[in-house]
């Protein structure tokens, strides 16, 4: 948690898979916010003076024993409170209302009807207006606490939105944070700006200045080593650190050999030639491939790559005299998932991160200048710092690299084939002007070989899968609907130009919340 000079909003997490989306929507409107688990709220309040509180959704049932509950202290702060889905239910239960299992459930798109004017719905429509929202609940509020009144209803929920205007307490049974509630961002903005009276003074320029000051205060005259992976996060962290402390920073770029085609050379050129940042480039590709020999389990591969990365980095860092700090590009989602309120899948998802600390044998202190930011905010900061837009706008790339895009054992030959196929795919996407319309696109080398005929010869080669998705949050994704001619050109070029592949398929599965990289 940071000591923010801005107008902070506290988001209390009850285990919803989309809690992070609430924070993203709030930040998009210029409001600084933090997510804290429901069972750690007391500690959060001791170090934070929130100007408003939002209670997230969650999978539990209020009427069940030992279900998570909102701290009564939250309702005694004298600030506005908004409960979302489970957040509305626990607020009602805590304040004297009633929640029961629903006879019917509401999941998916629904329509609410506004039945009473409220600043929460300012700009949506007057009484009688119907608005599309996204529902996801089985329980329902059956009695309102004293002081509350209904401001919207739906077919399955007589208390779809409620308000105690005097205390500025609000509840919505739907999810305003998801894209499927088209004007949900306006509802959240009404809560933060109109009801809470926040000005929206949190900008990336302000974050940059404050981050530089924090880095200087933390580091002083010490030396910092930055683990550079070649990705956007560590690259932005390195440039920010260099702006703050100059040549007190040394970057160590561990080239795993599992990057995209020519990406290692691009990183070295950018940091050495453009920014003149002290850089140690370690080509450890043979070491990584050696350790991956015979390893086919995807989680074992992730852990192996993570372990070897730390070993190589630690070996190189030991050669730098007088290093005091280690910097890494930890992001806010990493922090949130590492302290998940529900235990969750974070231990598996983040198995290649050092979230929450370093191995005991590393005597360096940790610097994480981006730990307050989401991925899209890091990109904005990168542009603010002067990084080329084409560099910071690159599609996300996993820490383990191509190692998890080669199901089964990873070999040098497979890596070379996949790098070429991936490069062709991305080249065709750029030529078609579609790169920025896609959140992530990549090729996967499947552990499948098929018989084909190319010219007058029979082939027995591998299958390449192409994946391209759209996303607004990086948590959920849907497949990109390619024009067939673009897919056709990419597939034809891959088969013609990449020896070892004789068939190309396109993956059209969607990505529900909580899933990890395709592997």
Q: Residue 462, Cβ neighbours under 10 Å: how many?
A: 19
Q: Residue 85 catalytic?
A: yes
Sign of CA dihedral 468, 473, 477, 482: negative
User: Which position among 33, 85, 226, 251 bears the catalytic label?
Assistant: 85
Q: Residue 255, Cβ neighbours under 10 Å: how many?
A: 21
Sign of CA dihedral 481, 487, 491, 497: negative
User: Which position among 7, 34, 177, 428 bears the catalytic label?
Assistant: 177
DSSP three-state, residue 303:
helix
Q: Which residues have CB under 8 Å from 248's CB, separation 6+?
A: 219, 221, 222, 223, 224
Residue among 138, 118, 324 at smallest CA distance from 221 = 324
Bridge partners, 82 (sequence order) = 54, 170
SS3 content of the chain, % helix, strand, coil (to 5): 35, 25, 40
Token pair for 186: 């306006």
C-alpha to C-alpha distances, 439 to 91, 165, 360, 389, 466, nearest whole angstrom = 36, 40, 37, 15, 14
164-185 CB burial, b ≥16 within 10 A, e <16: bbeebbbbbbbbbbbebbebbb
DSSP string, 309-335: HHHHHHHHHTTSTTEEEEE----HHHH
User: Which position among 175, 242, 352, 353 bears the catalytic label?
Assistant: 175
Q: Residue 63, Cβ neighbours under 10 Å: how many?
A: 13
Give first-to-last CA distance, the chain, whole Å: 33
User: Contact, 139 vs 100, CB < 8 A?
Assistant: yes
Annotated active-site positions, please? 85, 175, 177
């Amino acid at each position: 948690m940071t000591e923010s000079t801005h107008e902070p909003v506290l988001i209390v997490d009850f285990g919803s898979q989309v809690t992070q989306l609430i924070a993203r929507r709030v930040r998009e409107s210029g409001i600084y916010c933090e997510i804290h688990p429901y069972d750690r709220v007391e500690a959060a309040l001791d170090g934070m003076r929130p100007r408003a509180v939002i209670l997230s959704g969650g999978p539990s049932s209020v009427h069940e024993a030992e279900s998570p509950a909102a701290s009564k202290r939250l309702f005694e702060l004298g600030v506005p409170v908004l409960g979302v889905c489970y957040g509305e239910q626990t607020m009602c239960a805590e304040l004297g209302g009633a929640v029961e299992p629903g006879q019917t459930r509401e999941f998916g798109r629904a329509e609410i009807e506004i039945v009473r004017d409220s600043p929460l719905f300012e700009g949506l429509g007057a009484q009688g207006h119907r608005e599309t929202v996204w529902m996801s609940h089985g329980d329902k509020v059956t009695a309102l606490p004293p002081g509350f009144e209904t401001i919207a209803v739906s077919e399955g929920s007589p208390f779809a939105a409620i308000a105690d205007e005097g205390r500025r307490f609000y509840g919505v049974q739907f999810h305003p944070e998801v894209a499927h509630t088209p004007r949900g961002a306006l509802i959240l903005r009404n809560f933060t700006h109109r009801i809470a009276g926040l000005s929206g003074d949190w900008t990336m320029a302000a974050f940059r200045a404050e981050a530089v000051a924090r880095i200087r205060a933390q580091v002083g005259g010490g030396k910092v080593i930055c683990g550079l992976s070649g990705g956007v996060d560590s690259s932005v962290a390195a440039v920010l650190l260099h702006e703050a402390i100059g040549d007190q920073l040394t970057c160590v770029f561990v080239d795993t050999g599992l990057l995209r085609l020519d990406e290692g050379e691009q990183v070295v050129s950018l940091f050495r030639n453009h920014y003149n940042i002290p850089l140690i480039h370690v080509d450890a590709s043979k070491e990584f491939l050696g350790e991956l020999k015979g390893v086919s389990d995807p989680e074992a591969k992730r852990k192996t790559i993570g372990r070897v990365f730390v070993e190589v980095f630690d070996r190189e860092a030991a050669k730098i005299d007088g290093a005091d700090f280690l910097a890494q590009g930890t992001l806010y989602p990493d922090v949130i998932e590492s302290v998940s309120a529900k235990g969750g899948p974070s231990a598996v998802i983040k198995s290649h991160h050092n979230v929450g600390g370093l191995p005991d044998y590393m005597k360096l202190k940790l610097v994480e200048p981006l730990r307050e930011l989401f991925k899209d905010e890091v990109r904005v900061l990168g542009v603010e710092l002067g990084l080329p837009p084409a560099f910071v706008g690159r599609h996300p790339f996993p820490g383990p690299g191509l190692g998890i895009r080669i199901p089964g054992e990873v070999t040098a030959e497979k890596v070379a084939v996949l790098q070429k196929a991936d490069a062709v795919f991305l080249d065709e996407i750029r030529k078609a002007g579609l790169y920025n319309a896609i959140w992530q696109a990549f090729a996967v080398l499947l552990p499948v070989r098929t018989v084909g005929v190319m010219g007058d010869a029979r082939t027995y080669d591998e299958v390449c899968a192409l994946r391209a998705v759209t996303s607004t949050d990086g948590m959920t994704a849907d497949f990109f609907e390619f024009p067939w001619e673009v897919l056709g050109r990419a597939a034809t070029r891959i088969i013609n130009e990449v020896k070892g592949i004789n068939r190309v398929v396109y993956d059209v599965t969607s990505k529900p919340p909580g899933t990890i990289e395709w592997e």
